[in-house]
Amino acid sequence: MIKVAPSILSANFVDLKPDIEIAQSGGADLLHIDVMDGQFVPNLSFGPGMVEAIRPITSMPLDCHLMIENPERFVTQFCQAGADIVGVHVESTPHIYRALEMIKQHGVKAEVVLNPGTPISMVKEVLPIVDQVLVMTVNPGFGGQKFISQMIPKIQQLNQLRQTGENDFAIEVDGGITDETVESVYKAGADIAVAGSYVFNSEDPVAQIQKLKTRATA
């Protein structure tokens, strides 16, 4: 069964706690926190302080996706704030190996992230050290975008690479995930689906989370 990671980018910023509690009680497996700096992507969101504030109110693993330039400047702060997973974009730094190693030195799971236009060849050298690979299925920066179906072969390729036994990583997908798209990413090999607007912009977030889980295995 696919794991579901609701993204708080689509939650109620004024009062996040009820949305987080609803997500957890509804069967969410992780909580996805989108961190944006206005440089790497054209939007601003959360910092380490938000992660630190969320940590005491949920037992869900905190999945922090850093959409920021030169993330190695901040990975330590996010790890110390309580992140369980920290994802960094291969496009955001010339020192991706260093950034990932810094995350792992804190005992936190390290994730490498690929934008839609980035080939898998860009991350092959770091696959042996990552715990997770995040495939963006929209262009990063904003929620509520349309799923890019051309990313399915990329998920399949990653899945094939870990079948060799040389690499052991989870595959996460982020962008445009709904009950209509989750089945295709799960069949392609995805283990975790990030869903923001589909979950939090609905009248019944719990039902939406469960729908993603059941539709994935339909």
Give the residue numbers marked as catalytic: 34, 174
Q: In angstroms, rounded to a whole number, what is the distance separating the alpha carbons of residues 35 and 110?
A: 15
Q: Rg for the chain (alpha carbons), in Å?
A: 16
Q: 3: which 2 tokens?
A: 């794991």
Provide the pairing of β-strand 3-6 with 192-195.
Answer: parallel
Residue 213 near residue 31 (C-beta atoms within 8 A): no
Q: Return all residues near 124 (Cβ < 8 A) that are at least 6 apart.
A: 161
Q: Which two structure tokens, joined as six digits, stand for 75? A: 């990975």
